[in-house]
Amino acid sequence: MNLAELNKVAEAMVAPGKGILAADESSGTIKKRFDAIGVESTDESRRDYREMLFRASEGMKNISGVILYDETIWQKAKDGTPLVEIIKKAGSLPGIKVDEGTKPLPGCPGELVTIGLDKLADRLPKYYEQGARFAKWRGVIDIGPHGLPSYTCIKANAHALARYAALCQVAQIVPIVEPEVLMDGEHSKHSLVRSFEVHEWTLKHVFEELSNADVRFEEMVLKPSMVIPGQKSGQKAGAREIADATVTVLMRWVPAAVAGIAFLSGGQGNEEATLNLNEINRVARERKAPWPLTFSYGRALQQPAIGAWRGDDANVKAAQAALAQRAKMNGLAALGEYSPELEKQPALVRA
């Protein structure tokens, strides 16, 4: 294990003004997004869409790394160039989603555990050889009725995250550790206070398991959810309230040694995710938080681009400009320098 090289990659992933593009949608998820714009989901259409994103030169300036789906890491562009090489040429790091989704957790009705640890030790060296320098594993924690989440659910997912992270570091791959406390879904009626409580509980056990597995904090990136009320709660929290709660829970439970934190957007709107990230950075600066705080967004970066693209080559420049706009706005938010007024200045970025 080359710790110096791992640390170099981890620090590059959370470089100032940059964040991570999550382009690791499963085939089922991207099919739903293509259905919404009237595009058939095929190997070729998925490749063309992602190639369009990775060739967006302005947009990629604010992207430190790209999380890929297994299909994508092996694909080549229309001209035969491997997509991972296009990402590297743009100055970004290729990464790979390695979990295999979720399954019902036995004995815990309504709860899930992430699978994919079997043969992961065999898969990781192949991904490294293909160019991946970091990986991602997502654990799902749902706040539901009757006291959910259960201790069993949190413990099982925290343990899986830790085993995954340890395997990654041995394979010379930086792990993104993603314990997502859902803000949307069937049971999303929880308050900000309840969200805070579950985030505390989750992070406590995640870092306990990471420590037990001898995972090096300096060579990992945390990808948490923000502390936000459930979408069906009827409660609307302001950006400052969300930032105060999020920074508080992080400073209580995340070791200072962690290389950086890259938030997921969850069910937030595009500009909402940017505004909240910006406020989190401002609060973190006030409280002298020890880590860089940036984004690892999927839909919140891609939604305007896929809407502009619609499967038509004639729309590529417009789609790339849309990605560039969101990447630039979130890059500013990662520095605490974003303002909603900047959204009215589309000339700020070009495709």
Backbone angles phi, psi at 97, to 5 degrees: -80, 125
**pLDDT tens per residue, range 290-344:** 999 999 999 999 999 999 999 999 999 999 999 999 999 999 999 999 999 999 8
Residue 241, Cα to own-chain centre: how many angstroms?
A: 22
Coil, strand or helix at 194: helix
pTM, to two decimals: 0.96
Pick the CATH number of 3-348 from 3.30.230.70, 3.20.20.70, 3.30.2320.50, 3.40.50.1970: 3.20.20.70
Query: 31-35, 161-165, 280-284, 342-346: which has the minimum mean pLDDT?
Result: 342-346
Burial class (CB in 10 A: 0-12, 13-18, 19+), 90: middle
Catalytic positions are: 178, 223
Sorting pLDDT into bands at 50, 70 and 90, what band is 349?
Answer: very low
Which is higher by pLDDT, 45 or 146?
Answer: 45
Neighbour-count burial for 228-263, b at 16+ CB within 10 Å, e otherwise: bbbbebebebebebbbbbbbbbbeebbeeebbbbbb
Residues 131, 84 contacting (CB under 8 angstroms): yes
Residues 90, 60 contacting (CB under 8 angstroms): yes
**pLDDT tens per residue, range 99-137:** 999 999 999 999 999 999 999 999 999 999 999 999 999
